[in-house]
Amino acid sequence: MTTTVKIMPDRVSPPHGPLVAVLAYDGLCTFEFGVAYEVFGLPRPEMGPGWYRYQVVGVEDGPLRAAGGLTVTADGGLGHLEAADIIVVPGWRAIDAGVPEPLIQALQAANRRGARVMSLCSGITVLAQAGLLSGLKATTHWRYADSIAARFPDIALDPSVLYVDNGTVLTAAGSAAGIDLCLHVVRRDFGTEAANSVARRLVVPPHREGGQAQFIPGPVARDHEKERLSPLFDWMRKNIANDLPLTMLAERAGMSLRSFQRRFEEATGVSPGEWIAMTRLREAQRLLETEARSDLEEVARLAGYGSAANLRHHFRTRLGVSPAAYRRQFG
């Protein structure tokens, strides 16, 4: 007698973490919508039951047309935003297109109760028309910067960066910068290792260097200059704990100091000094998140700050929190 044993797969309970509501509208920007789904909506059982929940919320009755000949059916209407922890606006029909009053009211109500509202690319116009960016710093695709600045002069627009996090209101620049912002949100909610895991699955860097300026049409470094700088970036990261004087870096790159500074900024969008400052800050964040046994003096030394006092100064200046508070939140 032969006995057949049927192996049943383990059942994975649905996640019960923060609820992410992604807007769908007629004329939906497919790429930005896909970015939000890929980061927040794709099943990730390896992240555990606290991972994001995901809903598609229709701005209008569906089915809704999306770029590329697709149609989208939403999980529900604007009433679903009342329970959302994070609301994503994945682009908009046009940068100067009006926003329906019911959507404006729903976003304002969500913002008042503390939900995070984030825009990707042209989605900034929705947040701006809802009045959520008044007096705040924000960014959008460099092509739309002049239009937004002219229509909403009370927004501190910075088209040189990839994304801006104001706490409960967040904006991303161009389409791919939406990935950067979404990974930033994962890093903020679940820590560096979770963000790195999502980035690996996407086959993208967990954090891109520089800002949007590197994508604006302008002078492009010659190929042989790129070849000189690429290994230098790797060397600087490995030696971020040490002093990195510009004269030494220029010499390693085989350039004059003036040429080095110009080529470096063309390649990264920021000055060498700003690149070093950002890299040191990220290294300190990583150490605070992952090295619980290291005291602040050790973190400061490994990240290139020299002393805990210097580390505290840079954290407060750039992040608005102390290293100890950052470690309590993300460590």
Please give the pLDDT value at position 207: 64
pLDDT tens per residue across span 111-131: 999 999 999 999 999 999 999
CATH number of 222-331: 1.10.10.60
Cβ neighbours for 69, distance < 8 A, ≥ 6 positions apart: none
Please give the pLDDT value at position 151: 95
Please give the pLDDT value at position 174: 82
Give CA–CA dist 314/319, Å, rounded.
Answer: 8
Run of H or E residues at 138: strand 137-138
Please give the pLDDT value at position 12: 53
325 C-beta neighbours (distance < 10 Å), count: 14
Angle subtended at Cα 23 by Cα 17 and Cα 25, rounded to the nearest 5 degrees: 160
Q: At residue 173, what is the residue type?
A: A
Using only the alpha carbons of the chain, give its radius of gyration. 22
Q: Which CATH architecture has domain 19-202?
A: 3-Layer(aba) Sandwich (3.40)
Of the chain, the end-to-end C-alpha distance in Å amounts to 57
Q: Which residues in the chain land under pLDDT 70?
A: 1-13, 206-228, 329-331
Domain ranges of the chain: 19-202, 222-331
Please give the pLDDT value at position 132: 97
